[in-house]
Structure 1
Amino acid sequence: MVNKVTVESLTYEQLAKVFDHAILKPEQTTQDVITGCELAKKYDAKSVCVKPCDVKQASDLLSGSRVLVGTVISFPHGNSPTAAKIAEALQTVADGAIELDVVLNIGHLKSGRVQACQDEIKAVIDACHAKNPDVVFKIIFENAYLTKEEIVQACQLSVAAGAHFVKTSTGFASSGATLDDIALMRANVPDHIEVKASGGIKTLDQVVDLLNQGATRCGSSGTDKILDEFKQRRGL
């Protein structure tokens, strides 16, 4: 977004379509998935992001709606071997997921195994695109564990592997999305690659600030509260 984003400059739909509504807490139940999917439909979010075991349920619940089904792969640490990541990703695509947030292998990146991380992500993307070329991939870095140099490396390898988004965090580390990290990521991917902020996003002003730094999507479990705040401040 070239012009500065403000609460006043956004329409409700523009803001709603920024959100991937997260239903990812380990204790969340099948009833929580129902509640979360109904919430996402009511607020017209871009997508839900559910645990892999809940993709089929979410896909059934959201059939015919404008809300996409997303999930996470090798979540939250990225430690699964490549074959397991591929198998998990393929299963979620078969179950109806169209957006996959894949955690890169954090330990391997920090070990300097940049090419191995790139090859692994590419293998997951290629396997899924052979089944459905429309699947969108967001690569989760978990910036809380990375240096600035490693974040730049993660950006570069994600782009080279064919990802559509780079993403800050899982929401399960010691910190989540920061304005500095969003700016760094935006500066180190081409214009056609989007940036997703995730982790600790709870207020409308926070979302606006993230958009102004270059984020185009936000993962949050507080989608309804933020959008209600927007409607209240705009008098909608």
Structure 2
Amino acid sequence: MNSPPNTYIEHTALKPDLRDSDIDQLIAEAFEFQFLGICIPPFWVKKASRELQRSEIQLVTVIGFPLGYQRTESKIKEIELAIADGADELDLVMNVSAFKSGMNWPKIEMAKCAKIAHEHSKMLKVIVETALLTKDELVEVSKIVSDSGADFIKTSSGFASRGANLDDIRIMKANISSNVGIKASGGIKTLSDLMKMVETGAERIGTSSGLKIMREYQNG
């Protein structure tokens, strides 16, 4: 890991009982440690956008969260609202249900969402929920995400039975094109966890333990 951990971290708060004070705290911590970004629910994007004006911190929100089996039209509307509210990056949950049913629709949906994001100069990441996929399915999904025009593939929503692991990252890395990044998310709680993910190929880290990780880093 050649850069300090804050340059990889998307400081995340996606629990269902969030309060406005939690968002205020997340933003304050992002400014204190200059995290790469914050990842928050769509409801709070407009508030956070006002607070992050003129900063380099990326404002990330989720689309189709956490299960991903909304209709594409609903996801597109979510994207449009999130962009209007000030989101910089969009983490789209893949329709695992459609993928498991053998449909080509997930790739079509990703491509449609990527097109809208890019038309507004925004970034699209696709959450594939690795806990629900076999290794062979993850190979296939990685290729689908890579071909769809998405900017990143992301391991997990944080709402499945497990988050990211190193095997997931290795499989993704071997099956995406060089212009697609990897975001590891779910269960990354320590500096050691972060370093292993980055060294294996992740370029972004989604974690609610950003503060703890930075204190570990600062304390040597």
Establish whether TM, by shorter chain, passes 0.5.
yes
In the alignment, which of 71, 91, 103 is matched to residue 81 of structure 1?
71
SS of equivalent to 1:54: helix
Aligned to 1:38: 28
- State whether residues 182 and 210 of structure 1, in contact with CA within 8 Å, keep that contact through their aligned partners in structure 2: yes
Q: Which residue identity does 1:123 align to in structure 2? A: K
Mapped to 1, the partners of 2:73 and 2:158 lie a distance apart of 25
Number of aligned positions between the proteins: 220
Aligned to 2:114: 125
Mapped to 1, the partners of 2:97 and 2:15 lie a distance apart of 23
Task: Using structure 1 for the length normalisation, give the TM-score.
Answer: 0.91
In the alignment, which of 196, 199, 202 is matched to residue 212 of structure 1?
199
Structural mapping, 1:146-165, within 5 Å: 146-165=133-152
149-158 or 36-45, larger mean C-alpha shift: 149-158
In the alignment, which of 14, 23, 39 is matched to residue 24 of structure 1?
14
- State whether residues 13 and 208 of structure 2, in contact with CA within 8 Å, keep that contact through their aligned partners in structure 1: yes
Aligned to 2:130: 143
Task: Using structure 2 for the length normalisation, give the TM-score.
Answer: 0.97
Q: Which residue identity does 2:122 align to in structure 1? A: V
Mapped to 2, the partners of 1:11 and 1:53 lie a distance apart of 32
SS of equivalent to 1:219: strand
Q: Which residue identity does 1:85 align to in structure 2? A: K
Unaligned runs of 5+ in 2: none
Q: Which residue identity does 1:117 align to in structure 2? A: P
Structural mapping, 1:1-236, within 5 Å: 5=1, 10-12=2-4, 15-113=5-103, 115-130=104-119, 132=120, 134-233=121-220
- State whether residues 117 and 124 of structure 2, in contact with CA within 8 Å, keep that contact through their aligned partners in structure 1: no
Mapped to 2, the partners of 1:210 and 1:151 lie a distance apart of 17
Q: Could you say what the CA RMSD is over the residues aligned between the two structures, in angstroms? A: 1.0
In structure 2, relative to structure 1, the CA distance for the partners of 1:43 and 1:81 (3 Å cut) is same
Q: Following superposition, which runs of at least 4 residues in structure 1 exceed 6 angstroms of deviation?
A: none
Offset at residue 11 of structure 1 (A):
4.3
Unaligned runs of 5+ in 1: none
Identity %: 38
Offset at residue 128 of structure 1 (A):
3.1
